[in-house]
Amino acid sequence: MGLKCITTLLISVLLVSCSSKMTTESENDALSRIANEYLRLALKIGQFDTNFVDAYYGPDSLKPSNSKSAEFPKDSFIAHAAGLKKELDSLASVSRNDTTSKRAKWLSAQLTAFERRIKVFSGENAAFDEESKELFDAVAPVYPEKHFQLQIARLDSLLPGKGSISGRFQKLAENFLIPENRVDTIFKTAIAEARKRTLLHYKLPAGETFTLEYVKDQPWSGYNWYKGNFRSIIQINVSQPVFIERAIDLACHEGYPGHHVYNTLLEKNLFQDKKWTEISLYPLFSPQSLIAEGSANYGISVAFPGNEQEEFCKKVLMPLAGMDTSKADLYFKALAVKSGLGYVRNEVARGILNKTMTEQQAIRWLQNYALLTQKGAMDYLRFIKKYRSYVINYNYGQDLVKNYIEAKGGTDNAPERRWELFGDLLSNEVKASDLQIGK
Residue 293 amino acid letter: E
Q: What is the pLDDT of residue 295?
A: 98
pLDDT over 50 at 187, yes or no: yes
pTM exceeding the 0.85 threshold for the entire prediction: yes
pLDDT over 50 at 20, yes or no: no
pLDDT over 80 at 1, yes or no: no
**Tens digit of each residue's pLDDT (9 = 90 or more) over 382-407:** 999 999 999 999 999 999 999 999 99
**Tens digit of each residue's pLDDT (9 = 90 or more) over 289-329:** 999 999 999 999 999 999 999 999 999 999 999 999 999 99
Q: What is the mean pLDDT of residues 227-246?
A: 95
Distances (CA, A) of 237 to 123, 172, 240: 29, 22, 6
Q: What is the mean pLDDT of residues 145-171?
A: 92
Domains of the chain: 3-124 (1.20.58), 145-435 (no CATH)
**Tens digit of each residue's pLDDT (9 = 90 or more) over 29-85:** 999 999 999 999 999 999 999 999 999 999 999 999 888 888 999 999 999 999 999
Q: What is the mean pLDDT of residues 251-273?
A: 98
